[in-house]
Structure 1
Amino acid sequence: MKVFITGANGFVGLNIVSALLEAGHEPTAIVRPGSNTTYLEPFGIRVVRGGLDDSRALAEAMRGAEAVVHTAGNTSCNWRDLPQLQAVNVDGTRNVADAALAAGVRRLVFTSTTSTIGADNDPSRRADEREPLRGFRARSPYGRTKAQAERIVADAAAKGLETIVLNPAEVLGAYDYNLQWGRIVLAAHYDQIPFDPPGGASFCHAADVGRAHVAALTRGRPGERYLLAGHDLRFSEFFDAAGEALGKRLNIPSGGYRWLYYKTWLQEKAPALMPGEPVLEAYRLRVLGGSYYFDSSKAERELGYRSAPVQRMLESCAQWYRKHGFLG
């Protein structure tokens, strides 16, 4: 199948490209001029230079494609970045959907996030696709713009495009050069994890998330959304697993989480009172204080999705970092 993919040079995108080639598909990637394609180029796929701001140019680039995988996105949770979030996550998705319709593409697979799905701060519960977003998590600018994007995708479905939405949880594995959860692997390697947050999360293997996108091209039901989670861990357990994968005994300071959260909040909201660059966005730090778990049962039934164990995710990430010089 000829597949047009956005965001192919990103962490999740690279795993999707790998899975597309593994399954025998023929991907074409669009990447912004000047963007980093160091890890995309070895795949040897066709690359088109362009942005998501021109639906006509996108439609021309998509000609001949049977499906589109739209995984490009801005993941900031800082309100100061709202213009960029709006431009990429909302306007960019609208242009991709319009272009797919204009180019006669049959199916669109959209990479969303669990930030558009509700979950209680309750380690005994796992949220599914029907859980409405509420509480402080509904105030994330990232989650809000991705929710808008999901509505745009639904509108495109009403116009005849077959659409599937995938909602990955915390993705971990190879190709994480932008240091999402991989930054914890690096921090563990250098014994620099600054605090032990009290919450937990659902983790999924990046390679299996890539394969789920490929499965959605043929097995996903149009109009449906699928959670991609897998393994629920307290962050303390996750740090222990990271230390084991690296063969290191970690020395993580006890406490400090609450102070770090308020310090980061002040750095974002009142930089004159608390100068300095936050180590992490205040919103993300607050999320780390709770346990938000998600249920992949639907993706397991309908897409054949399975996530590798957390230890394999960590080892895959660490091996890739060693190969590419991230770990000294």
Structure 2
Amino acid sequence: MRVFVTGGNGFLGSAVVRSLIEKGHQVRCLLRYSSNTSRIDGLPIERVLGDMHDCASLEAGMSGCDGVIHLAGISDWMEITSSKMHESIVVGTKNVLNTALKVGKPRFVYISTISAVNGTPKPILQNEDTPCTLNLDEFAFVKAKREAEVLCYQAAAAGAPVMVVCPPETFGPNDIDFITSRNLINWYNSSPVLVSVGGVCVGYVDDVAAGIVAALEKGKPGDRYILGGENVTVKQIAELMFEILGEKRNIIEIPNSIIRFLTKVACSLHLPLPYNPYIVPYATRFWFMDNTKATKELGISFRSAREALAPTMAWLKETNSI
């Protein structure tokens, strides 16, 4: 297929581009003039200058394409409460989706997130059909992603071949913007290492990318697929990290009630914190997911948390990030 990709220069997006090329697909990437393309430079791709709010560039990019993979949008934890969230995620997705419908309904994969499924106070395994019990007013990112998903389901119900995939907390090398590795770096620079009571489904970037390509190739229109691997607690991630590095650290699990209280007080008094306060609502919940549907229907597999973290830590050391 000839595949149009938004966000193809990003951490996960660049892995998707490489996976598409390895599978024999032709790739056309939407890129802004200011985009850092270092992760895809040298790859045999077509480049279309524009962005997801420039419908003319979207139409030009999708012309003649058999598939669309939409990854672009706010994904950095540092922007998790950005006022641009709705414009970036919801309006941007609407523009890309409407253009796809206009040019001939190519197969369309929207990249959502496992946090759009649900998060719980205790470790409960959830799947694609789990009802969301979160107060979405407290989770702007989740709210925007779910609204974008609804647009996709509506298009699928009207007959368009649109699929939704939900990546997990994704680790791997070349995370040059420190999207997920920022917490690892913060832990490395802390003594003792303080962690919350929570957990998340994790994945290795190449596995998640392979899942996205598999959804494009054989996903069922209107369906949602969780592309996560092992479910681990926040403390287990920190423990694995230091085991891989061969270092002994004192890792202390702090009750969530204390973390929330201290964060609220520090923010109200404008005091500095050794962590990003905006991730606290996420870090103090469990985002445990069942990947059975994706593994069975898409024929993909996922590495363990250790196998996802090992190359990540090696890259962080090689780049002197830790």
Q: How does the TM-score come out when normalised to structure 2?
A: 0.90
Q: Distance in 1 between matches of 2:308 and 2:109?
A: 24
**2:321 counterpart of 1:327:** yes
Q: Contact between 2:3 and 2:67, CA under 8 Å: does it hold in 1?
A: yes
In structure 1, the partner of 2:212 is 213
For the 8 Å contact 1:122–1:292, the answer to whether it is kept is: no
Q: What is aligned with 2:175?
A: 176
Q: What is the distance in 2 between the residues matched to 1:240 and 1:222?
A: 40
Kindly tell me: are residues 119 and 198 of structure 1, through their superposed partners in 2, closer, same or farther at Cα, counting changes over 3 Å?
A: closer
- List per-residue Cα deviations over 1:136-167 (Å, max 9, x = no partner): 46631001111111111123224432001001
**TM-score, normalised on structure 1?**
0.89
Q: What is residue 229 of structure 1 aligned with on the other side?
A: 228
Unpaired runs of at least 5, structure 1: none
Q: Equivalent residue of 2:51, what SS?
A: coil
The letter of the residue matching 2:50 is G
Q: Which moved more, 1:190-199 or 1:214-223?
A: 190-199
- 5 Å matches for 1:66-145? 66-75=66-75, 81-82=82-83, 84-123=84-123, 125-136=124-135, 139-145=138-144
> Which residue number in structure 1 is paired with residue 39 of structure 2?
39
Root-mean-square deviation (Å)? 2.4
Q: SS at 2:128's partner residue?
A: coil
Q: CA deviation at 1:56?
A: 2.8
Q: Which string of whole-angstrom CA distances, capped at 9 and with x for unpartnered residues, describes residues 189-246 of structure 1?
A: 5456741212221111111110001111121011100111221112221111111222
Contact 1:4 1:27 in 2 (8 A): yes
Compared CA separation, residues 227 and 285, structure 1 to 2 (3 A) = same
- Structure 2 contact 193–250 (Cα < 8 Å) conserved: no
Q: Tell me which amino acid in the other structure corresponds to 1:57.
A: S
Count of aligned residue pairs for this structure pair: 321
The structure-2 alpha-carbon separation of the partners of 1:254 and 1:311, relative to structure 1 and needing over 3 Å to count, comes to: closer
| SS of match in other structure, 1:186 | helix
Contact 2:85 2:144 in 1 (8 A): yes
What secondary structure, in the 3-state scheme, does the structure 1 residue paired with 2:68 have? strand
1:206 partner letter: V
Q: Contact 2:128 / 2:224 at 8 angstroms: preserved in 1?
A: yes
Pick one of 300, 303, 320 that aligns with 2:298. 303
**Using the alignment, how far apart are the partners of 1:185 and 1:135 within structure 2?**
26
CA–CA separation in structure 1 for the residues paired with 2:194 and 2:166:
28
Q: How far 1:18 sits from its partner (Å)?
A: 1.7
1:19 alignment counterpart: 19
Taking the aligned partners of 2:153 and 2:10, their CA distance within structure 1 comes to 24
Aligned equivalent of 1:279, options 269, 275, 278: 275
Amino acid in the other structure paired with 2:180 = W
- Rounded Cα–Cα distance in structure 2 between residues aligned with 1:233 and 1:321: 21
Structure 1 residue 254 displacement after superposition: 5.5
Could you tell me which residue of structure 1 aligns to residue 160 of structure 2? 161
Give the conservation status (yes or no) of the 8 Å contact 1:121–1:292: no
Q: Is the 8 A contact 1:264 1:278 kept in 2?
A: no
Of residues 223-232 and 167-176 in structure 1, the stretch that sits farther from structure 2 once superposed is 167-176
CA contact 1:184–1:193 (8 Å) conserved in 2:
no
Once the two structures are superposed, what CA deviation does each residue of 1:282-318 show, in whole Å capped at 9, x if it has no partner?
A: 3x21322233311111101100121111111112212
CA pair 147-255 structure 1, distance change in 2 beyond 3 A: closer
254 and 234 in structure 1: CA distance in 2 versus 1, 3 angstrom threshold: closer
Structure 2: runs of 5+ lacking an equivalent: none
Query: Which of 286, 290, 312 is matched with 1:317 structurally?
Result: 312
Structure 1 residues 287 and 80: alpha-carbon distance in aligned structure 2, compared to 1, 3 A threshold: closer
Task: Measure how far apart 1:40 and its partner are.
Answer: 2.0
Contact 1:168-1:227 at 8 Å conserved across structures: yes
Equivalent AA in structure 1 for residue 82 of structure 2: D
Q: Which residue does the alignment assign to 2:28?
A: 28
Residue-by-residue CA offset, 1:265-286 (whole Å, 9 max, x unaligned): 3555x3xx2244772133x213
Alpha-carbon distance between aligned partners in 2 of 1:145 and 1:120, rounded to the nearest angstrom: 19
Q: Relative to structure 1, is the Cα distance of residues 278 and 153 closer, same or farther in structure 2, using a 3 angstrom cutoff?
A: farther
